[in-house]
Chains A and B, each alone.
Chain A
Amino acid sequence: MVNHIENEKYLVGVFEDEDILMKAVRNLKSIGVRIHEVYSPYPIHGLDIALGYKKSRLPKAAFLFGATGTTLALTMMTYMVTLDWPVIVGGKDHWPLPNFIPITFELTVLLSALGMVGTFLLSNDLYPGKNPKMFDIRSTDDKFIMAVDLSSNSMSADDISNVLKENGAAEVNEKQFA
């Protein structure tokens, strides 16, 4: 879940190139600066690892939702046409597993997709009407924004600002959310 970030003071480094940004992230991490988050207009390969984020567990969630779908489908069909009201169809067994496969597959995919996407939206706090906390609105256009939380860093604002500039930041601004 997203942390509450009101009333905190942030230094915002504005970068114009993703390779420069990546190098800067590595350098800042090696110095010991705590980066709050990096915002970009598109996903940057390797950035999440450079920032120390663990791999997403969404694939595992997708698997579990899918398994639920499989179970649901097989249980539903077995109850309905094998146990509750068996009818002879095409001279076949009352539990025609090959015939059950298409629907089982479809429900597996359906629940997996919907469950995983729902989990994604929930875990990233995304919903219609949410007010985004934008450090710099150019982060959805053409700039790469690095936000550093001053309260969680021992280095002074000036020092961090200089480090950012040395590592290629085109601008360094301050940002505080009301």
Chain B
Amino acid sequence: MHVTSEVRPPLVTGGKTYSDVTDDICRQVEAKPTLLWTVAFIFSVIILIIGGYGAYRTLWDGIGRWGLNKTVGWAWDITNFVWWVGIGHAGTLISAILLLFRQKWRTSINRAAEAMTIFAVLCAGTFILLHMGRTWLGYWALPLPNTFGSLWVNFSSPLVWDVFAISTYLTVSIVFWYIGLIPDLATIRDRATNKISRIAYGILSFGWEGGAKTWARYEAVSLILAGLSTPLVLSVHTIVSMDFATSVIPGWHTTIFPPYFVAGAIFSGFAMVLTLMIVTREVFYLQDYITIEHIDSMNKVIILTGSIVGVAYITELFMAWYSGVQGEQYAFINRFSGPYWWAYWSMMTCNVISPQLFWFTKIRRSIAATFVISIIVNIGMWFERFVIIVTSLHRDWLPSSWVMFHPTTYDVLDYLFTFGIFFTAFFLFAKFLPVVNMAEIKAILKSSSEKGVFKRHLEIDTRSEKSVAEKNENIDGTNI
């Protein structure tokens, strides 16, 4: 049964019919690349190439090209790794967790968010591979039988847990994303006018027909994948946090890290989704699908997770003081007043103050403000990881080892390389694949779209004895 809510705002505006949904989304896939897309794509490929030179030098000449030293063994490499993995978590949250919570507003953003997850995890993986130094021996991280006596990996190390966690996360995310794509690829296949498109989308859609039996099984698969992905995403960033939490470094060795990192990941991930979706909805004319209600809902998640992150910062400071442990206390005094104080205060302003602005409805429902704040949040989250890693390492237990860290050109170039990967992949996705899940939007169209269109199209109403005109009446008595 379908009941169009009288109080909830519609999730799809503009009086769309099912075929409108198909047309609006497929149009972007079927049209020739626009000038804007071409320019953006070429720009991201240039970044990829410039950054790629940095990656090549790092691989060939070694990690000595970075600004690392004996005291600061991790800096931009791991900061960037955690930053990208964190961003990836929003896609799974939107797809999986919001599905379990039956939040229909996820349907217009979940595909793009999942794509973002996959590309972000790929970027994170790039840093894992680069930071090994001898990347070509990377397979040594796997528990494979070998000729060293069979020397096995250390299963008690979070670094090995990461190998399994990130690989599983990437694989399951790709699978979840692709299964969701199949019905939409079939839609494009059935509309295709040129032979290459028909064959290509035909192969990609696996021969999907859309029968009720298949759909029933598809729904079971989606539900189970969502149920699996939810603890998966929570476990992945927990395991990443344990790279730090299971150590003995002051500022790292705290039990608050798992929930703190997970909340921070969702926080930065939603910010990145907002940044991407605000641009995409303008460029692809998707304002009727990604409405101000969607942006409003995402901003509420930002308030929630940003507040958790803020509380975590205060908790860390409190526990450092309350514990009486001088090493821990110094770690935090150094953070807010030592040589990296500017990084710490950037983190505090960007992450604690800016999301709190969304309590004000005017700001929360302003596209421009949301766009700016989403970028500020991501900058702040980068500084958070930088502060955690570098300030704790550069001054830990032995003062004679205290040094400063300075990034080199190759630290920057390798970061740029991952931006090149991310945006090139995202623009390819936006051009050749449907950015919105058409099937899911159609499934919520009757219950959550703007009133009027569906009732007018019905000749036989199966729900009540009222006349068509009576049913078309709005709350205030008008008949639109």
| Chain A positions near chain B (C-beta within 8 angstroms) | 16-20, 22-23, 37-44, 47-48, 51, 53, 56, 58-59, 62, 76-77, 80-81, 84-85, 87, 89-90, 92, 96, 99-100, 102-103, 105-107, 109-110, 112-114, 116-117, 120-121, 123-134, 137-142, 168
* A132 touching B150, Cβ below 8 Å: no
CB closest chain-B residue, reference A51 = B212
| A133→B19 CA distance, assembly (Å) | 21
* A110 touching B168, Cβ below 8 Å: yes
Contact of B212 among A23, A38, A127 (CB under 8 A): A38
Query: How close is A3's CB to chain B, nearest CB, in angstroms?
Result: 11
Which residues on the B side are within 8 Å of A131 (C-beta)? 202, 207
* A42 touching B442, Cβ below 8 Å: yes
* B446 touching A85, Cβ below 8 Å: no
> What 0/1 readout, one digit per residue, does chain B (434-456) give for beta carbons within 8 Å of chain A?
00001110110010000000100
> What 0/1 readout, one digit per residue, does chain B (163-177) give for beta carbons within 8 Å of chain A?
011011001100110
Which residues on the B side are within 8 Å of A114 (C-beta)? 171, 175
Contact of A39 among B158, B210, B231 (CB under 8 A): B210
* A102 touching B446, Cβ below 8 Å: no
Max chain A C-beta neighbours (<10 A), residue from B176, B182, B205: B205
| Of B64-72, B220-228, B249-257, B372-380, the one touching chain A | B220-228
Indicate whether A117 sits within 8 Å of B225 (C-beta atoms), given known contacts A76-B143, A89-B154, A141-B187.
yes
| Of B44-52, B358-366, B457-465, the one touching chain A | B457-465
27 chain-A/chain-B pairs, Cβ below 8 angstroms: A17-B454, A18-B446, A19-B2, A41-B210, A42-B442, A43-B215, A43-B216, A44-B212, A51-B212, A51-B213, A56-B216, A77-B155, A80-B155, A81-B154, A85-B152, A92-B156, A96-B155, A109-B232, A110-B168, A120-B179, A126-B208, A128-B206, A132-B202, A132-B208, A132-B209, A140-B210, A141-B191
CB of B190 closer than 8 Å to a CB of A:
yes
| A89→B191 CA distance, assembly (Å) | 60
* A120 touching B460, Cβ below 8 Å: no
* B150 touching A43, Cβ below 8 Å: no
Which residues on the A side are within 8 Å of B204 (C-beta)? 128
| A152→B172 CA distance, assembly (Å) | 41
Max chain B C-beta neighbours (<10 A), residue from A76, A99, A117, A124: A124
Query: How close is A138's CB to chain B, nearest CB, in angstroms?
Result: 8
Contact of A62 among B154, B219, B224 (CB under 8 A): B224
